[in-house]
Structure 1
Amino acid sequence: MTQASAAIECTDSFLDDALAVAREAAAAAARIISGYYRDGVEAMLKPDATPVTQADIEAETAIRTVLRRAFPQHAIHGEEQGRDGEGDILWLVDPLDGTKSFVRRNPIFSTQIALMVRGELVLGVSGASEYGETAWARRGGGAFIDGTRVHVADTNDIARAVVSTGNLKSLARGSRWPALGALLCEANRGRGYGDFLHYHLLAAGSVDVVIESDVNILDIAALAVIVREAGGTFTDLDGAELTLDTRSVLAAVPALHGAVSPRFHGWNDVQAA
């Protein structure tokens, strides 16, 4: 059986092997990123006005090298080098999500690697090298942070919930800003942990609801698998399943997702400047 056919069947054995490769790729990226974080690096602006550094570029190259060596027939879509290859098996790679934090020596940035098979996200690795934490999961295998299995909280009342938000600039311009304000008034606590961190906290039971706007699927694909395998629910703000075009997130413990989701239906994504 070829690697490609085994991957399409998506057996537990294949997923275990692919997860091991993804973790190896994340570790390779971490070694590069840590060196630049220690020594400092300047950011350049891409055509879309977002920042990129040499660390981003070299880390993605390292990830692609590891993935290509193990799975030469798989397609890869990376933040810095775009898409390479076609087919039903697609790796989604953001080598350094949180470049703005990285260049300002804020450790809240991460490497995100996910695998999508025929449109379904089946595994993810979220490596936060300078924060000192790595999360991973594969379909049906549970979610782990640094080797410890994690699970979302059993919170079932918004009045007891911790709500974390991210990328609020575009949400503030949209029609659902009042809905977010009302939710935060009802919740026990509102926080803005952002980036990978609030998803790790959700998976570990420390946060109950995460709301974000103006996201890219490369930012959240791995995190979606981790949250789901920890027992959480992960959709966009309209309650729809994730696709390559997803632009918003509502991730929550199951008992609260259903209560929160209708408040945001019909929300129009407005790109932040």
Structure 2
Amino acid sequence: MPSPGDLDAALDLADLADAITGARFRSRDLRIDQKPDRTPVTDADLSVEDAIRTALKERLPADGFFGEEHGGTPDGPRVWIVDPIDGTKNFLRGVPVWATLIALVEHGRPTVGVVSAPALRQRWWAAADSGAWTRRGNEPPAPLHVSGVNRLGDAYLSTTNLGTWPQFHSRAAYLRLVDACWEDRAYGDFLQHCMVAEGIVDIAAEPVVSPWDVAAVRVVVEEAGG
């Protein structure tokens, strides 16, 4: 189980990330490269991951670290998993829907999660057995609860990109799910999972994920009752 200081650490790391991403978002000199899997990475992604790694080494030197950009050690009793910018394509195009995802995984189970989206002026966070919370702008924190929808025919469904379904799973299978639901959209990435935690969306479906995509949002959704 996480200690009270673990969530405080994650929130402080999110503040650190927000300062970096906020300064680089929509900057004219943003540097963009292509990774081997042909997905983009910016200098902001790399700077955030490096800054969080350094801060954790100073604050919690015994903990492991695993980041999307530089990897690390995914196994161990306590490992921090970080996606420096979830939604890099949005970030580099100037779309404000992106976030830093920070999770503490203990013995294979995510126990602390923070999702910080400074361009949207919203943050979501949770710790195991402590509930899930969000804050918009300067408003006070509010508890999160998933919706009470319990029939697929009444469900609001979201995915990230329809084009990834034939690549990693089955477009036909996803379209059958769409047809079975009340409504569908593609809010994408971290946002759809946080919307599930808020009870705004009922299902967030992905054909494939990586640990850094879901470790933080899993805690938030589960602590919100999902």
Same fold (TM over 0.5): yes
Question: More deviation in 36-45 or 135-144?
Answer: 36-45
Partner of 1:28: 16
Instruction: Note the C-alpha offset of 1:81.
Output: 2.0
Contact kept? 1:113, 1:125, Cα under 8 Å:
yes
Question: More deviation in 69-78 or 33-42?
Answer: 33-42
CA RMSD of aligned residues (A): 1.6
Provide the C-alpha distance between the structure 1 equivalents of 2:21 and 2:186, rounded to a whole number of angstroms: 25
1:185 aligns with 2:196: no
In structure 1, which of residues 130, 138, 142 is the aligned counterpart of residue 131 of structure 2? 142
Partner of 1:113: 102
Shift in alpha-carbon separation, 1:73–1:86, aligned structure 2, 3 A: farther
TM-score by length of 2: 0.92
Counterpart amino acid of 1:79? Answer: E
Higher RCO, 1 or 2 (CA under 8 Å, sep at least 6)? 2
Contact kept? 2:26, 2:92, Cα under 8 Å:
no
1:67 aligns with 2:61: no
1:46 aligns with 2:40: no
Partner of 1:261: none
Contact kept? 1:168, 1:212, Cα under 8 Å:
no
SS at match of 2:10: helix
Contact kept? 1:93, 1:114, Cα under 8 Å:
yes
Provide the C-alpha distance between the structure 1 equivalents of 2:54 and 2:12, rounded to a whole number of angstroms: 11
Contact kept? 1:97, 1:109, Cα under 8 Å:
yes
Provide the C-alpha distance between the structure 1 equivalents of 2:87 and 2:105, rounded to a whole number of angstroms: 22
Unaligned runs of 5+ in 2: 136-140
Q: What number of residue pairs does the alignment pair up?
A: 220
Instruction: Note the C-alpha offset of 1:60.
Output: 1.0
Shift in alpha-carbon separation, 1:154–1:87, aligned structure 2, 3 A: same
Shift in alpha-carbon separation, 1:143–1:175, aligned structure 2, 3 A: closer
SS at match of 1:52: strand
Contact kept? 1:167, 1:213, Cα under 8 Å:
no
Instruction: Note the C-alpha offset of 1:181.
Output: 1.5
Instruction: Note the C-alpha offset of 1:52.
Output: 1.1
Contact kept? 1:158, 1:187, Cα under 8 Å:
yes
Contact kept? 2:162, 2:171, Cα under 8 Å:
no
TM-score by length of 1: 0.76
Partner of 2:115: 126
SS at match of 1:212: coil
Provide the C-alpha distance between the structure 1 equivalents of 2:15 and 2:7, rounded to a whole number of angstroms: 12
SS at match of 2:190: helix
- Identity rate of aligned residues, in percent? 37
SS at match of 1:21: helix
In structure 2, which of residues 77, 83, 86 is the aligned counterpart of residue 88 of structure 1? 77
Unaligned runs of 5+ in 1: 1-9, 233-273
1:168 aligns with 2:171: no
C-alpha offsets along residues 110-162 of structure 1, whole Å, 9 cap, x if unaligned?
10110111111111001111111110001000011112111001101122110
Provide the C-alpha distance between the structure 2 equivalents of 1:46 and 1:183, rounded to a whole number of angstroms: 32
C-alpha offsets along residues 210-246 of structure 1, whole Å, 9 cap, x if unaligned?
10123211011100110000000xxxxxxxxxxxxxx
